[in-house]
Structure 1
Amino acid sequence: MNIKMSKRLTILAMLLSMLSIAADKNIPLEVFAEPAKYKTIQISPSGKYLAFTYEDGTEVKMGVLERETLKPTAGFEFGENRHVVGFDWLNDERLSMTVQTRVGWLDGTNPRTYWAAANADGSNRRVLWDDRNLGSLTMIDTLKDEPDHVLAVRRMWLDGGKVKLFKVNTENNKQSYISDSPKAAAFTDPGVIGFGTDTKGNVRFALEYDNGEDENIPDDDTISLHYKNKNSDE
């Protein structure tokens, strides 16, 4: 018997065993229909904390626990129909969260998106970006050598949705424009639409898009990927 076949039989035996146990215990169908208690769970980079989101009525809230003791250290809630739709660990002790209003996909409700940050113990809570600023701010990388900072792409609708690269201090929300960000060619519209970084947080890639002569006809649209050599300034 070959190794692959042996592994398959082992897995099959385990599944049959599990089904047999389930049948013996006569688990009611209601158990499988119950909503999940937790939606998303992430462990902190140091392994000290667990952050998780969970439903509570019309809200999706977020909590933080010490991993070893399961002792709660912080809780975050934002009001009726407000959902934590995503979150990320920024460093060992701080995390960010994206919050939106969620009622129904087709009801036309303004999601009122904002991006916030807080420490794992619930202190130093700050809103880093609010969609009332008529644009968006999206993190693209954390900076291991600067744990209080992240790289983020900012789009302003008043600027035609063009993207610019900023370094954001998540402790005090100071945002610094990175002047050597990749620039679009003069003739492309909308121009650079995204950036990519290497493992050290250096911007090495830029994605450029051009609508062509007629923005309503996609046949003449072009997409270009630009790569910056490690030892180059261009």
Structure 2
Amino acid sequence: MEALVQIFWRDLCARYPQWREAAAPFAAAVRLLADCAAHGGKILLCGNGGSAADAEHIAGELMKSFLLPRPLPESFRQRARALFPQQAGDLERLQGGIAAVSLVSGASLPTAFANDVDGRLGFAQQVYALARPGDIVWGISTSGNSYNVNQALRVARLLSCRTLGLTGRDGGDMAALLDVELRAPAGLTPQIQELHLPMYHALCACLEAVVFGGQARGNPPAGPTDAA
């Protein structure tokens, strides 16, 4: 895994040298995510505004093929042929996934909770209901001071989950709530968001290579991408 981390890290820094001081947290984030995936855990993502879009984006990269093929286990394919022979061809087109849930999706739950309890606790309520020890809550906040995101991270700590964050500026209140912080070296929200995207793409690509058997080589693997 360490060889893969170095490959993706070097590629990221070649394109975005602003991240060159984040080698240690990048490697720690990959190890954190890989351990979660290896133990059947899930990754819960949250953020506001542009960071909400990033949470959706990350979940999309993790739940389906990103840069590498993700073949299904033969045991699943055989079971599909045995139980649903007429539909097995379609079912075998599924791809391996890394369990990730964007907490920013939907309307009924967040609006109901905002109306009945407190909208600032919407992410925290979802973490409380969904998270189990060993899962990761991944918060995204350019300031590090998004109250609803930080409350979700606090609940994660109470439930013995691990915490990962993308921040900017000085890290804000979020910095003290994180096992691993990836702090973009910028001060303006648009600039921070511009640096968050290549960082989480590199993390997703490296994690995919670790989980689905990518081989260490001179450049990150090229392959299918999403349609976004």
Same fold (TM over 0.5): no
Q: When you count strand as a share of all residues, which structure comes out higher?
A: 1
Q: When you count helix as a share of all residues, which structure comes out higher?
A: 2
- Structure number with greater CO (CA < 8 Å, separation at least 6) is 2
